[in-house]
Amino acid sequence: MTRELRTEQQLLEMVTKALAANPETSGWSATAVQEHPEDEQGCNWEIHYLHGASDCANAKESVMPVASRVINDLRNRYNLL
């Protein structure tokens, strides 16, 4: 599947909007896009950290699995310029 190319700023904006649109991840945002060589799915970026209204470990543990699904959906569609 061909991915559209985006800048880091564009990817962060898209991830932030997607997280805000999901009731389970609303209030959480990505801190940075990390570029890396293409993985086995052909994607060259990842987001490993989120910042939210609560820095409580329990809150992060419940948000990260949902956020990962949101981020992976975007990873399937876009690559970093």
- pLDDT per residue over 20-50, tens digit each? 999 989 889 888 999 999 999 899 999 988 8
pLDDT over threshold 80, residue 6: yes
The model carries a pTM of 0.86
Q: Which two tokens stand for residue 50?
A: 């989120």
Segments making up each domain of the chain, as ranges = 4-80
Closest residue by Cα to residue 27 from 57, 75, 65, 67 = 67
Neighbours of 67 (CB within 10 A): 23
pLDDT at 55: 61
Query: Which tokens sit at 68?
Result: 């990962």
Cβ-based neighbour number of residue 14 at 10 Å: 16
Alpha-helical (H) ranges within the chain are: 8-21, 57-75
User: Is pLDDT of 1 > 70?
Assistant: no
pLDDT per residue as tens digits for the range 44-67:
999 988 888 766 656 777 888 999
CB-based contact 27:59 (threshold 8 Å): no
